[in-house]
A and B are shown apart, each in its own frame.
Chain A
Amino acid sequence: MKRRTFCTLATAGSASLALGARPARAATTVSLWHIFGYSTEPGLINITRFNQTRTDVQIDGKSVPFGQLSQQLVKAVATGDVPDLITIDNPTVASFAGQGVLEEVGAKVAASKGLARSRFFPGSWATTIFQGKQFAVPGEVNTLMFYVNQDMLRAGGVDPAKPPQTWAELTAVAAKVADSAKGKYGIGVSAIQTEEGTFQWLPFLQQSGAGLKTLTSPDAVAALQLWVDWVQKGYASHDILVKRQSEMTDAWLAGNSAMSLSGPWELPRILRDVKFNWTVIPMPVRADKNIHATALGGYVWAIPKGAKNVDAAFQVIEYMLAPEQAARSFAGGRLPAVQDVQPPADLPRAEVYAGFESQLQYARPRGPSPEWPRISEALQRAIQEAITGQQPAQQALATAAATIAPLLQRYPIEGM
């Protein structure tokens, strides 16, 4: 208990006090694999500050690209040489936890003053729970909105002040601004055969009123047919089948796509590179259903089983989620998973960050299920079959449903 008091003091910034009160001893080194790639990233600033503040615990950080986190963790588990702490993609928690790779942190979180459940967005909290036990702590989150090139809208005769609010309006605007012969498109989404494709389409399924259990319903078919029509009518490029979200943002930045679905992680480079008037709008809803739903991405803090410094690693998690550190997230194009910090007012285009923040209330987790990779794969296949025209949307979804139903039976997912 006494230890925790010190810890809280230290996180509050009273470095000197903590330093003076602590008996000198060899520092514990927490090996941390993280996704903070750029030297200006807030995550790296937090690590540096932690190391300057603390003498008893030091972080030894190693950067891993977001897409390679799972692979690196698998390799580490295979060789038995795991880091003390790792940031992992939120839908992979159940897979890793289900196979006994992650340390259970529920008791530690319950005892922690700083990590009260009420501070977190419920959706992101849900991603850390598997079969009633907690295996991670939400770190930073993100969600999807449409980035809108207002100049392109204006050129197409659409008033940028009245952005589309329903699927039908979205399609209508896309039809007005698209000129596929010239490589100009109305809509940019990613339908790639990876988790990114699932991430982008799933909110449309949820907005339609359908879910994973009702994939063969007319609502689910409508959600898929929406995308199919965009491509077949030339409102979206065929290349959405092989382009990642970042590549769709490239097309948007190049002025080739008027409305592109992406997350706040693109903000740092958009603010630097953009050459037209732009804004973000919430994902339009299906008029007759009016269900708001968007995606929930981001990473969680997890301690792999076999970590040598579990207690120290947990102190790092507490430090990173204290308001002062969490508030730095925004500048890195991420949103803190805790609700009690606001975007700093001096951020450029602060209203955009606030926009993303406001959408988190509709952000729904993928899973949690240890079978999520297979569920996701079946969805990706259905999306691609329908868009390439190999199967009608109805048929493609029926095939996916046949794969997904037994997986849901084994591991039911609440609310999906």
Chain B
Amino acid sequence: MSRDRFLDSPTIWVLLIGAAALFLLLLVGYPIAYNLVMSVQEVTLGNLPSFSRPWVGLQNYRQLLADPLFLLVAKNTLIFTVANVAVQFVLGLGLALYFQLSFPASSFLRGLVLVGWMLPPLVIGAVWKWLLGSDSGFVNYALQGLGLISGKIYWLADPLLSLVAVTIANIWFGVPFNMILLAAGLAGIPTDIYEAAALDGAGPVRRFIWITLPLLRPTIYALLSLTTVYTMRAFDLIYTMTHGGPLDSSNIFPVWSYRMSFELFDFGGGAAIATAMFALVLVVALAYVRSVNAERPM
């Protein structure tokens, strides 16, 4: 009896919320605050262990904006993110719809597609670096064999193409994730709605536009937000394939931040990039939370 009363009492709410808040504060809040503080200080290896470092205000940010690389990296990050989110979604949706059809081994094949997502990005980066090699890479070999190109395409070595190359690899990496979330969303749509619509004379295209898409909306919002966040923090894959080069043509913010901190030992600058990235991701995350809340009354 008393146990039930305890579980219903306000005390339990305070405890539950307190535990969650403490967890977030320690494991999420602390690193963010630490990073934020670093981004407004002059941080060297010498003063790294302590918090008492010279305050420099927004100087790290100003330096970042003045850096000739800034615009290039910002442009790369934008292209990389938009291309990844859009293409991963379209391909993921296509695959999800395809595997919804029942044909022999469809569920087995769907599972197989997921394998790509289970591989570490480092491995994927190494494999794609081989595939896209200009001399003995399979992609050039295949394109030449099909007669589509006569010379070689310098996928990774050409500054105009390296961003395309890492984007292709990252899309390949992200599609299975999109597919599986969309497949789960599709499975949640009751089949009797489709049957009723079919009886009323709606063809497949109209059923897709008027039933599938609206009912998938919560899944789509969640997925787009998650993919955006995942893409904006992509690091390993690019680092393995091009190290951001040649000439920073495939450099995006996370790679730049890493190189600034760990190769140039400019920790303040690295922290400033990371903080700016955090702000961007936060906006996306807030949009996601809002969309989830807006869907709830339905």
Contact = CB atoms under 8 A, between A and B. Distances in A.
B246 A242 contact: yes
A244 to B, nearest CB: 9
Contacts of A384: 245-247
Nearest to A75: B262
A308 interface: no
Contact of B157 (A70, A241, A254): A241
Contact of B46 (A99, A381, A385): A99
Given A100-B46, A183-B136, A238-B158, A74 B247 contact: no
B263 A242 contact: no
A392 to B, nearest CB: 15
Contacts of A194: 243, 263
B44, B157, B159, B241: most-surrounded residue (chain A CB, <10 A): B157
Contacts of B152: 238
B133 interface: yes
B247 A388 contact: yes
Interface stretch (A46-54, A77-85, A111-119, A271-279): A77-85
A384 B159 CA distance: 10
Interface string B217-250: 0000000000000000000000001111111100
B265 A74 contact: yes
Contact of A242 (B44, B162, B261): B162
Contact of B246 (A78, A79, A185, A241): A241
**How would you classify the secondary structure of chain B's contact residues: helix, strand, loop or mixed?**
loop
Interface in A231-245: 237-242
A313 to B, nearest CB: 19
Contacts of A185: 135
Interface in A167-185: 180, 183, 185
A101 B157 CA distance: 37
B15 interface: no
A193 interface: yes
A301 B44 CA distance: 22
B39 to A, nearest CB: 15
A377 B158 contact: no
Nearest to B140: A183
A254 B136 contact: yes
Interface string B126-145: 00010001111000000000
A374 interface: yes
Contacts of A192: 243, 245
A182 B80 CA distance: 33
Nearest to B165: A242
B289 interface: no
Contact of A100 (B45, B261, B265): B45
B159 A388 contact: yes
Contacts of B48: 74, 77-78
B162 A70 contact: no
Contacts of B245: 192-193, 241-242, 384
Contact of B247 (A77, A180, A385): A385
* Most chain A C-beta atoms within 10 Å of own C-beta, residue among B46, B152, B246, B247: B246
Contacts of A101: 45-46
Interface in A377-394: 377, 381, 384-385, 387-388, 390
A374 B264 CA distance: 6
Contact of A99 (B45, B129, B159, B246): B45
Q: Chain A: interface secondary structure?
A: helix
A96 interface: yes
Given A71-B262, A242-B242, A237 B247 contact: no
A192 B129 CA distance: 14
Contacts of A74: 45, 48, 261-262, 265
A180 B224 CA distance: 43
A78 B157 contact: no
Which of A71, A237, A256, A377 has the largest number of chain B CB atoms within 10 A?
A237
B248 A193 contact: yes
Max chain A Cβ within 10 angstroms of own Cβ: one of B44, B129, B247: B247
A95 interface: yes
A403 to B, nearest CB: 11
A193 B264 contact: no
B297 to A, nearest CB: 47
B156 interface: yes
Nearest to B45: A99
Interface in B120-174: 129, 133-136, 152, 154, 156-159, 162
A122 interface: no
A229 to B, nearest CB: 16
A255 B162 CA distance: 26
Which of A71, A95, A183 has most B Cβ within 10 Å?
A183
A246 to B, nearest CB: 12
A373 interface: yes
B10 interface: no
A267 B157 CA distance: 28
A306 B265 CA distance: 19
Contacts of B262: 70-71, 74
Given A70-B262, A74-B48, A194-B243, A239 B133 contact: yes
Given A239-B134, A374-B264, A77 B244 contact: no
B135 A99 contact: no
B157 A239 contact: yes
B190 interface: no
Contacts of B45: 74, 77, 95-96, 99-101
Given A193-B245, A194-B243, A239 B156 contact: yes
27 contacts: A70-B262, A70-B263, A74-B45, A77-B48, A79-B49, A95-B45, A96-B45, A101-B45, A183-B136, A185-B135, A192-B245, A193-B243, A193-B245, A193-B246, A238-B154, A239-B154, A242-B241, A242-B242, A242-B246, A251-B135, A251-B136, A256-B136, A306-B49, A373-B263, A373-B264, A384-B245, A387-B246
Given A80-B49, A256-B136, A390-B247, 17 more contacts: A70-B263, A74-B261, A99-B45, A183-B135, A183-B136, A192-B243, A193-B245, A193-B247, A193-B248, A195-B263, A239-B156, A241-B245, A242-B162, A242-B241, A384-B247, A388-B158, A390-B159
Interface of B: 44-46, 48-49, 129, 133-136, 152, 154, 156-159, 162, 241-248, 261-265
